[in-house]
Amino acid sequence: MANPTDRKYSNEHEWVKLEGDVAIVGITDYAQEQLTDIVFVELPEVGRQVKAGDSAAVLESVKSVADVYAPCDGEVADVNSSLEDHPEKVNDDAYGAGWIFKLKTSGPDLSALMEADAYQAFVDAEG
Amino acid sequence: MQELPLQYRHEAACAKFGEFAGYRMPLYYSKPIEEHHTVRKAVGVFDITHMGQFVAEGELAEAFLQYALPNDVTTMQDGYALYSPLCREDGGVLDDLIIYRHSPRHYRIIVNAGNRERDFQWLEGLAGRFEVGLRDVSSGHCLFAVQGPEAFARLRGELEHSPGDLGYYRFTETRGFGVPLFTARTGYTGEPGCEIAMAREHAEQVWDQLTGSLGITPIGLAARDTLRLEACMALYGHELREEWNPLECGLGWTVKLKGEQDFLGKQALLTVKERGVAYKLVGLEVTGRGIPRGDYPVLDESGAEAGVVTSGAMTPTTGRPLAMARVKAALAALDTRLLVEIRGKQLQARVVSRPFYKNPALRA
C-alpha cells in the first residue's frame, strides 16, 4: 500500500498527520504488517502530556508487544477507543480507521520526520 | 543461523521468517490467527525439521533410557511413543522429548532444536555405561506435522498404514508418496494428527504432495505456539527450565518412581515429593484488560510475589487472554484470585482449569 503524502513518518514506523493544532497519530502499513494480527491496544489517557519519543500507546499482536511513540510533544486530546473492541482495525486500515491517538500541539517540531517517499526508502532499506 | 532444507519451498509460499533455536523458521505464511483456525477447523502442516532426532541402539537400550529418563520406559511396547522430561541429578529439566520404541534394543528420540547438542552430549555420556550407541541423525531427516480434525481423512489412502488407524502415541514405519516414512500419532496442537519423518532426499516430494495434491495448508511457528498454549503443552524455556524440577512445572504425570530402579534425578525428585511441591503449574485467565505474557510477575491479592507467567496470549480459539503460570502451591486451587503485573499495572486474574482447549478426538 502506498504511504499517503498528506502526513509524515517516523523511523519507529508511526505516521502523524496535522489538522490545525491537532496531530493524529497511527502506525504505518508496513508496521502493522510486521506486527501481524493485532489483538490488543492500550491507549493513553486523555489529558496526558507527552514528549516526542515517549511511549504513548501499546499494540500487542499474537506474538509481540510494540510501543507506539509520540512523534512530537503535545497533550493527548483524543483516543480511538473503538480499537479496544476492534484492534484489528489497525491491520485493516492503518492510515484511516486504525488511527490511535490525537495530540493537541502548537507548532510541533516535525523536522526529524520523513516524507512518504523518504519513509518508503527507509523501509526498503530495512528490508 | 541454519536454514531448513525446504527453505526455498517456504519462501515460495511467501513465509515470513524469524529466528527460533538457531534456525530461520517460517513464522507464518498468511496470518497467524487464520492459520491457527485452519488447524482447529480443518488441517495444516508444519515443517518441524529443526527438531533433533537421535537413534539409540544396543542390547541395553531400554535400561539406558530407563536410567536416563524419569518416565517409565518399561511400559512401552514396540511401536509405542512416550513423552518424558530429561532431568539432571538435582531434578532440573534439561529438555522434554519423545522416545519411540522400535524394539527394546532400538529407539528413536526426538528432542527440541535448541537443546539438541546439549541433550546429545548428556545422553551420550550416559549411553556409554550401557554400551549403547547414540547417533544424531537430525541432518539426514526431515519432520513434518500434519495436524487438525481433517488430518486422517486427508491422508487416507496415501499411506500404506493409515495414521488414523494408529492409537494415540503410537507409531509405525510405513510407505507413502512413494517413499519410506516414519509416522507417529503425536503432535503439539491438541488436534488429532501425526508427525511424519522421512529421509531428507524424499522430503520435497512428500511436502509437495501434502501441500499440493492433498491441499494441506502450511502453518508457521506463530500459530504452533498459540495452538500448543491452548492445549497447555509445555514449551522448553517457558514452562520447562533447567532450574525447575518437573514436579513443580506441570510434568508430575511424567515422573514415575519405578520401585527399586534408579534413574537420574530420582533422589532429588523423591525429596520434593516427600516435602510436597512448593510450586504448581496453573492455567490463568486475566479478567482485567491485558494480555499475560511469559515472564510477567504473578502476585497474590495482597500484592505479594506468587510466581511467574510461563506463556500467555490472547488465545484465538477462546478469544480470552489466557496463560500458563508457575505459582506457589498454596495459590494453585481453581478460582484463586491472583494478579498479573503487566507493564507496571496489576490486573485481576483467576486460576482456571487446563487445558484451555480440548478436542475429544485427540486420543480417540
Give the residue on B whose Cα is nearest the Cα of A63.
B222
Give the residue on B whose Cα is nearest the Cα of A91.
B31
**Between chains, do B290 and A65 touch, taking CB under 8 Å as contact?**
no
Residues in chain A within 8 Å Cβ distance of B293: 65
**Between chains, do B28 and A36 touch, taking CB under 8 Å as contact?**
yes
Residues B224 and B283 in one domain: no
Asked if the structure places residue B255 within a domain, the reply is no
Model confidence at A116: pLDDT above 90: yes
* Strand bridging mode B93-103 / B106-111: antiparallel
Inform me whether the C-beta atom of residue B291 falls under 8 Å from chain A C-beta atoms.
yes
Name the residue facing A40 among B28, B31, B314 (closest C-beta). B314
Across the strands, what pairs with B96?
A: B85
Which numeric CATH code is attached to A8-105?
Answer: 2.40.50.100
Describe the strand order of the beta sheet including A38-42 as a list of residue ranges: A38-42, A55-61, A65-69
Q: Outline where DSSP puts E strands in chain B.
A: 2-3, 16-20, 23-28, 44-47, 52-57, 81-87, 93-103, 106-111, 133-136, 141-147, 171-176, 179-184, 193-199, 217-218, 279-286, 297-299, 305-314, 321-328, 337-342, 345-352
- Which residues of chain B from 125 to 184 reach within 8 Å of chain A, CB to CB? none
* Strand bridging mode B321-328 / B279-286: antiparallel
Q: What is the mean pLDDT of residues A83-108?
A: 95
Q: What CATH code is carried by the domain that includes residue B102?
A: 3.30.1360.120
Inform me whether the C-beta atom of residue B230 falls under 8 Å from chain A C-beta atoms.
no
Asked if the structure places residue B239 within a domain, the reply is no
Q: What is the mean pLDDT of residues A22-29?
A: 97
Q: Where are the domains of chain A?
A: 8-105
> Cα B358 from chain centroid?
16
Out of B166, B199, B231, a domain closes at B231
Residues B219 and B294 in one domain: no
> Cα B166 from chain centroid?
19
Out of B231, B263, B292, a domain closes at B231
Which range marks the domain in which residue B67 is found? 1-231
Asked if the structure places residue B269 within a domain, the reply is no
Residues B177 and B85 in one domain: yes
**Between chains, do B316 and A58 touch, taking CB under 8 Å as contact?**
no
Residues B6 and B106 in one domain: yes
State the cell numbers at B167.
492409537
Residues B301 and B203 in one domain: no
What's the pLDDT at A127? 65
Give the residue on A whose Cα is nearest the Cα of B30.
A36
**Between chains, do B28 and A84 touch, taking CB under 8 Å as contact?**
no
A&B contacts, CB < 8 Å: 35
DSSP letter assigned to residue B294: T
Measure the CA–CA gap between B197 and A30, rounded to whole angstroms: 37
Residues of chain B with pLDDT under 50: none
What's the pLDDT at B311? 98
Inform me whether the C-beta atom of residue B275 falls under 8 Å from chain A C-beta atoms.
no
What's the pLDDT at B298? 98
**E strand or H helix that includes residue B10:** helix B7-12
Residues B226 and B312 in one domain: no
Inform me whether the C-beta atom of residue B35 falls under 8 Å from chain A C-beta atoms.
no
What's the pLDDT at A2? 85
**Between chains, do B291 and A62 touch, taking CB under 8 Å as contact?**
no
What's the pLDDT at B329? 98
**Between chains, do A62 and B32 touch, taking CB under 8 Å as contact?**
yes
Residues B96 and B207 in one domain: yes
Q: What is the mean pLDDT of residues A25-43?
A: 96
What's the pLDDT at B306? 98
Asked if the structure places residue B74 within a domain, the reply is yes
At B146, the amino acid letter reads V
Asked if the structure places residue B143 within a domain, the reply is yes
ipTM above 0.85, yes or no: yes
Q: What CATH code is carried by the domain that includes residue B289?
A: 2.40.30.110
Residues B153 and B283 in one domain: no
What's the pLDDT at B333? 98
What's the pLDDT at A109? 87
Residues B163 and B30 in one domain: yes
Q: How many domains does chain B have?
A: 2
Model confidence at A1: pLDDT above 80: no
Residues in chain A within 8 Å Cβ distance of B31: 36-37
